[in-house]
Amino acid sequence: QPVHADGDRLDLKDRFLNNMIVKSGQVVEQCFGYACAYLDVPRDLDATLAVGSDDGYKIWIDDQVVADLVVFRGSAADQEKHPVKLTKGRHRLLVKVHNDIAGHELFLRFLDADDKPITDYVVRLTP
């Protein structure tokens, strides 16, 4: 189901797991959540993919793994930075976020060479 982030953070627990808790009557932990979006990029970009997560993650752009981290922690923006190249056109972004216990969150943004957010691309939920 389509979900929009509140500000710069996507709270997967709030969006999905709380409904599962209500339906099952049990706390849902040790699971994975996935987010998928399509990016329409107007020009070739050398960018930095800045990620924050609770807990670990794996990220693909066009079926290529660009980031993979096993970690157990709370989330904050820009905990890791990964260099990526995006060509002009449409790209599929797929993110898998691991939840061990408690929070299940994701921060993700693209930065330029000066660590400023890149904003001249369009995010779509369908190809």
What are the tokens at 120? 């001249």
Prediction pTM value: 0.79
pLDDT confidence of residue 19: 47
Rounded to a whole number of angstroms, the CA Rg of the chain reads: 15
pLDDT confidence of residue 97: 84
- Give the pLDDT confidence of 3-48 residue by residue, as tens digits: 656 666 666 555 554 444 555 566 666 667 788 889 999 999 999 9
Query: What domains can you pick out in the chain, each with its CATH number?
Result: 10-124 (2.60.120.260)
- Report which of 98, 99, 90, 97 is spatially closest to residue 125, judged by C-alpha positions: 90
pLDDT confidence of residue 62: 97
Q: Give the chain's mean pLDDT.
A: 82
